[in-house]
């Protein structure tokens, strides 16, 4: 277990200065940190002050469901300039990974239309479906026929995931040369208080177990995803990165896997929940980005004087 997380509000001025001096780059999650339904108060100001203090700012989200236009609108509403240009999401990581291994076959995609569009925009062909299966097990044989055109199975958020698709994925993964990539590994998504639904991680785990294969995880908290985000940002030393998020498993977990410093904002979970986690603790915490703004402003004024 890591040591007790430090509340930024309780740091003495010189210790807050030492905290700021301990990193050069800020990587931040988006949903629940910068915006929920609308922008979170003070989030845009937080990043502009960080930039004024000489930090580079990048964004890392597990959410491949938003289109580029939707992300751009959210960044704009939060008063963050060109945010999308500095954003890493699983769909882009998956497409760039395939490009990096000179992938020249077709992807079997169990994901959303936005991820498929990103693959297409990188010139990667994909197959998908069927969205409706047969009525009886004996008819499922047709979903267990290999397709030599497929060279990779990609699993991310698919609201129409089903038995035929998982059978197909397992069949293709029977060939060891077929790449197995996944995005978000979340097992549940909470869409209202007390209401949760199964999320992509459940289905990816099932396929992985049945195929006896481990996917390359190109979503938080996969180490490869964090390293990919570093590469895109031109960062070489993970210890000089402060990773900000609102989820312990995904955000703090990613930070721990890669070696980032971690800051948890308690916008979605309580301090008690944070401290109750059995294995993962952030280095720092605060209520929200907005609550850190006055501390940064003070620091900035001081450094000018």
Give the footprint of Mg ion on this chain (CB under 5 A).
Answer: 29, 31-32, 246
With respect to Mg ion, which residue has the nearer C-beta, 31 or 114? 31
User: In the complex, what is the shortest distance from the CB of residue 220 to Mg ion, in angstroms, rounded to a whole number?
Assistant: 9
With respect to Mg ion, which residue has the nearer C-beta, 29 or 283? 29
Q: Are 23 and 241 in contact (CB under 8 A)?
A: yes
User: In the complex, what is the shortest distance from the CB of residue 33 to Mg ion, in angstroms, rounded to a whole number?
Assistant: 6
Cα–Cα distance, 260 to 263 (Å, whole number): 10
Tokens standing for residue 211: 């195929």
How far lies 214's CA from each of 113, 145, 167, 201, 208, in Å? 24, 22, 16, 12, 6
With respect to Mg ion, which residue has the nearer C-beta, 29 or 108? 29
Q: Any residues with CB less than 8 A from the CB of 23 and at least 6 apart, and which? A: 55, 240, 241, 242, 261
Q: Is 194 exposed, middle or buried (0-12, 13-18, 19+ CB in 10 A)?
A: exposed
Tokens standing for residue 293: 């703004």
User: In the complex, what is the shortest distance from the CB of residue 263 to Mg ion, in angstroms, rounded to a whole number?
Assistant: 13
User: In the complex, what is the shortest distance from the CB of residue 267 to Mg ion, in angstroms, rounded to a whole number?
Assistant: 8
Q: Are 34 and 62 in contact (CB under 8 A)?
A: no
User: In the complex, what is the shortest distance from the CB of residue 48 to Mg ion, in angstroms, rounded to a whole number?
Assistant: 21
With respect to Mg ion, which residue has the nearer C-beta, 134 or 287? 287
Residue of closest CB approach to Mg ion = 32
Token pair 């978000």: residue: 184
With respect to Mg ion, which residue has the nearer C-beta, 125 or 249? 249
Instruction: Please report which residue ranges of the chain form alpha helices under DSSP H.
Output: 13-21, 43-52, 68-77, 90-100, 113-121, 163-172, 200-211, 223-233, 253-258, 271-276, 289-304
User: In the complex, what is the shortest distance from the CB of residue 151 to Mg ion, in angstroms, rounded to a whole number?
Assistant: 32
Q: Are 238 and 207 in contact (CB under 8 A)?
A: no
User: In the complex, what is the shortest distance from the CB of residue 246 to Mg ion, in angstroms, rounded to a whole number?
Assistant: 4
With respect to Mg ion, which residue has the nearer C-beta, 182 or 254? 254
Cα–Cα distance, 263 to 59 (Å, whole number): 14
Cα–Cα distance, 31 to 265 (Å, whole number): 12
User: In the complex, what is the shortest distance from the CB of residue 215 to Mg ion, in angstroms, rounded to a whole number?
Assistant: 21
Q: Is the peptide bond before 266 cis (omega within 30 degrees of 0)?
A: no
């Amino acid at each position: 277990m890591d040591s007790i997380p430090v509340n930024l509000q309780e740091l003495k001025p010189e210790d807050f200065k030492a905290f700021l001096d301990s990193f050069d780059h800020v990587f931040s999650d988006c949903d629940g940190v910068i915006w929920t339904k609308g922008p979170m108060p003070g989030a845009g100001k937080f990043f502009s002050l960080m930039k004024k203090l000489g930090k580079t700012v990048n964004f890392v989200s597990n959410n491949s469901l938003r289109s580029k236009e939707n992300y751009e609108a959210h960044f704009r509403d939060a008063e963050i300039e060109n945010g999308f240009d500095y954003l890493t999401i699983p769909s882009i990581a998956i497409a760039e990974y395939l490009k990096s291994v000179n992938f020249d076959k077709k992807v079997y995609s169990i994901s959303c239309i936005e991820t498929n569009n990103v693959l297409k925009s990188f010139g990667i062909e994909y197959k998908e479906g069927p969205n409706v299966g047969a009525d009886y097990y004996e008819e499922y044989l047709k979903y267990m026929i290999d397709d030599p055109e497929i060279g990779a199975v990609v699993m991310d958020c698919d609201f129409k995931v089903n038995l035929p698709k998982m059978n197909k994925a397992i069949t293709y993964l029977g060939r060891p040369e077929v790449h197995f990539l996944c995005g978000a590994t979340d097992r549940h998504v909470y869409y209202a208080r007390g209401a949760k639904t199964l999320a992509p991680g459940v289905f990816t785990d099932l396929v992985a177990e049945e195929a006896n294969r481990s996917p390359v995880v190109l979503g938080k908290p996969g180490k490869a995803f964090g390293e990919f985000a570093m590469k895109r940002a031109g960062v070489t030393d993970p210890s000089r990165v402060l990773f900000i998020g609102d989820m312990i498993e995904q955000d703090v977990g990613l930070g721990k896997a890669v070696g980032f410093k971690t800051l948890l904002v308690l916008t979605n979970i309580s301090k008690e929940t944070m401290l109750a986690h059995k294995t993962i603790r952030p280095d720092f915490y605060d209520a929200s980005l907005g609550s850190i703004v006055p501390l940064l402003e003070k620091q900035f004024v001081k450094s000018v004087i």
